[in-house]
Amino acid sequence: MIEDILNDLTKTNIAVGVFCLWVLWNIVTRIDEERRIAAYGKHAPAVRCWLPYNLDMVVRAIYNSLHDNNFEGWRSLFAKNGRGRYTVEARPASQRVILTSDPENIKAILATQFSDFGKGKPFHNDWKAFLGDSIFTTDGDAWHASRQLIRPQFIKDRVSDLHTFEKHVQTLMTAIANGGVEGMPGVATDGVAQGRVVDVSDLFFRYTLDSSTDFLLGHSVDSLRTPIQEFAEAFGEVQRVQSIIARAGLLNWLVPRRSFNAGLKVMNTFIDQYIDRTLAFTPAELDSKSTSSSYNFLHALGGFTRDRKMLRDQLTAVLLAGRDTTASTLSWTFYELARHPAAFKKLRQEIIDAIGETDAPTYEDLKNMKYLQHTMNEVLRLYPVVPFNMRMSLKDTTLPFGGGPDGKSPIGVLKDTPIGYSTLVMQRRKDLYPINDDPNMGVEFFNPDRWFGWQPKPWTYIPFNGGPRLCIGQQFALTNMGYTIVRMLQRFDRVDSFMPEGPMGVPVMKADIVLQPGAGVATAFYEAGREMV
* 471 labeled binding residue: yes
CA atoms in the 13 A half-sphere facing the CB of 7: 4
CA atoms in the 13 A half-sphere facing the CB of 82: 19
What type of residue is 204? Answer: F
DSSP 25: H
d(CA 409, CA 405): 8
DSSP code string of 65-130: HHTT-HHHHHHHHHHHHSTTSSEEEE-GGG--EEEE--HHHHHIIIIITGGGEE-HHHHHHHHHHH
Q: Are the CB atoms for 193 and 525 separated by under 8 Å?
A: yes
List the one residue out of 218, 201, 236 whose CA is nearest residue 315. Answer: 218
d(CA 86, CA 407): 10
List the one residue out of 14, 208, 102 whose CA is nearest residue 423. Answer: 102
d(CA 269, CA 355): 43
Helix axes 308-339, 230-248, angle to 10 degrees: 90
Q: Are the CB atoms for 121 and 478 separated by under 8 Å?
A: no
Helix axes 55-66, 70-81, angle to 10 degrees: 150
Q: What Å distances lie between residue 276 and 44, 268, 299, 308, 312, CA to CA?
A: 52, 12, 11, 9, 11
* Chain CA centroid to CA 240, Å: 13
Residue 240 makes CB contacts below 8 A (sequence gap 6+) with 512
Q: What Å distances lie between residue 421 and 71, 106, 110, 364, CA to CA?
A: 12, 7, 11, 35
Question: According to the 3-state scheme, what is the secondary structure of 200-241?
Answer: HHHHHHHHHHHHHHHHHHCCCCCCCCCCCCHHHHHHHHHHHH
Q: Are the CB atoms for 43 and 412 separated by under 8 Å?
A: yes
Q: Could you tell me which residues are annotated as the binding site?
A: 471
Residues annotated in a binding site for heme:
471
